[in-house]
């Protein structure tokens, strides 16, 4: 039997409009031969930044000029640049459980990083007041990995926190905000910000393909000035051919169409997976089924050790990620039960029952 996957990392490209993407690339070649022959603006071509800023104004309520957008080959290199230009005594707080790749990056930069606990509304305010960070890295639209959608009240509390301190910033990672099921999208934190304290991050990894490596950040004016002072001699990492193709793909309406199609497709799989999990695990499972993103957190009544779960998953040829991947600092376990991050992008509809059966054998 072949491997089945509940990975949260891959996307489902079975419905990716490769033909339309190729047409956008051909258009990019036809219209931009001279730009393809030179090095692009270090923040990315203005035309592409304009298209992105118009789009996120419409879809996420982000207010910005194209000049404030920095395009990069992923959130990682962008965060690296953003933090590398900060003095060494400026501190960062991150969510715990959270995005360990960013936590590891900040640690590797010898940055003072404090993992902060979550409550049912998202990152815990008391924890922030204790840690006294200068930067707060959060995922309010769909907390990574627990899935919590941060309510407006907590967003306002965080904006007040940022506004009442010297030079404080909130880094809003909006990574899979395009996917909401049966609930309307809450506008970005950046759209509520009146004090230029929110740094907005977006990515095309979840809506297009993670292998395209196209992501961006929106800097408030003061940080933009510092960025341009530090990096204007740098070379833009993304390929201009792909960036201009993205520009035409968005302009032609194909991007919006694809997101709509994938929302419907993912929602169908999400619903069936949740149904099959409850059917098979009955009252042994608790699903944090926030109606968003491409994964959810599920808790299983067992006091088995994670090592045993990982081992049995290998034997069952089932790719799963446990909460351990996201526990930062010295946090060892979030609950006496086993918690898994279950992604539904890469599992095929017809493999869901078999995958749930394998998962049952892994856990019990
Ligand atoms: C919380 C979060 N913010 C952004 C991204 C997007 O990053 P980029 O492609 O570089 O734009 C991801 C994507 N996460 C990766 C793939 F899912 C890795 C997950 C893992 O390491 O568990 C993510 O989880």
pLDDT digits (tens, 9 = 90+) for 149-207: 999 999 999 999 999 998 999 999 999 999 999 888 889 999 999 999 999 999 999 99
To test the pocket of ligand 1, the residue of 99, 213, 246 to mutate (highest count of ligand atoms within 8 Å of its CB) is 99
pLDDT digits (tens, 9 = 90+) for 261-306: 999 999 999 999 999 999 999 999 999 989 999 999 999 999 899 9
Is the pLDDT confidence value at 334 over 80?
A: no
The candidate with the shortest Cα–Cα distance to 270, out of 4, 6, 42, 2, is 6
Q: How far is the CA of 42 from the centre of ligand 1 (A)?
A: 23
CB of 255 shorter than 6 A to ligand 1: no
CB of 216 shorter than 6 A to ligand 1: no
**For helices 240-251 and 46-60, what crossing angle results, to 10°?**
40
Q: What is the ipTM of this complex?
A: 0.97
Atom 11 of ligand 1, nearest CA residue? 74
pLDDT digits (tens, 9 = 90+) for 107-124: 999 999 999 999 999 999
Which pLDDT belongs to residue 314?
Answer: 98
Q: DSSP letters of 167-209?
A: T-EEEEE-TTTT-BSSSPPPPPGGGG-SSS-EEEEEESTTTS-
Whole-angstrom CA distances from 121 to 31, 98, 157, 165, 271 are 47, 14, 11, 22, 24
Coil, strand, or helix at residue 332?
coil
Atom 16 of ligand 1, nearest CA residue? 9
Q: Which atom of ligand 1 is nearest to the CA of 203?
A: 11
Tokens of 149: 């959608």
d(CA 203, CA 256): 15
Angle ∠(56,185,286) on CA atoms, nearest 5: 135
Helix boundaries (H) for 32-96:
33-36, 46-60, 75-84
Mean pLDDT across the chain, nearest whole number?
96
Q: How far is the CA of 144 from the centre of ligand 1 (A)?
A: 9
Q: How far is the CA of 76 from the centre of ligand 1 (A)?
A: 9
Is the pLDDT confidence value at 333 over 90?
A: no
């Amino acid at each position: 039997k072949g491997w089945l996957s509940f990975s949260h990392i891959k996307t489902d490209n079975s419905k990716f409009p490769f033909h339309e993407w190729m047409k956008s690339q051909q258009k990019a070649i036809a219209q931009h031969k001279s730009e393809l022959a030179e090095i692009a603006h270090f923040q990315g071509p203005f035309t592409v930044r304009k298209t992105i800023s118009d789009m996120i104004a419409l879809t996420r309520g982000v207010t910005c000029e194209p000049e404030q957008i920095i395009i990069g080959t992923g959130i990682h290199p962008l965060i690296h640049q953003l933090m590398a230009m900060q003095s060494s005594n400026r501190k960062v707080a991150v969510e715990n459980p959270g995005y360990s790749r960013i936590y590891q990056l900040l640690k590797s930069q010898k940055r003072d990083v404090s993992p902060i606990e979550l409550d049912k509304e998202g990152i815990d305010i008391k924890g922030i007041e204790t840690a006294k960070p200068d930067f707060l890295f959060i995922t309010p639209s769909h907390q990574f990995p627990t899935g919590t959608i941060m309510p407006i009240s907590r967003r306002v509390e965080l904006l007040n926190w940022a506004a009442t301190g010297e030079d404080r910033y909130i880094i809003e990672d909006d990574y899979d905000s395009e996917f909401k099921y049966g609930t309307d999208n809450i506008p970005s934190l950046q759209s509520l910000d009146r004090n230029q304290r929110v740094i907005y991050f977006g990515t095309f990894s979840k809506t297009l393909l993670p292998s395209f490596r196209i992501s961006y950040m929106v800097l408030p004016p003061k940080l933009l000035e510092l960025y341009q002072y530090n990096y204007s001699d740098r070379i833009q990492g993304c390929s201009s051919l792909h960036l201009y193709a993205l520009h035409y793909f968005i302009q032609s309406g194909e991007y919006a169409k694809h997101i709509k199609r994938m929302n419907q497709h993912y929602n169908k799989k999400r619903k069936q997976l949740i149904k099959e999990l409850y059917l098979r695990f009955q009252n042994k499972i608790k699903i944090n089924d926030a109606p968003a993103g491409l994964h959810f957190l599920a808790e299983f009544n067992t006091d088995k050790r994670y090592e045993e779960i990982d081992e049995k998953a290998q034997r069952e040829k089932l790719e799963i990620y446990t909460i351990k991947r996201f526990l930062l600092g010295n946090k060892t376990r979030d609950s006496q039960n086993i918690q898994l991050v279950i992604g539904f992008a890469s599992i095929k509809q017809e493999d869901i029952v078999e995958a749930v059966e394998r998962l049952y054998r892994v856990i019990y």
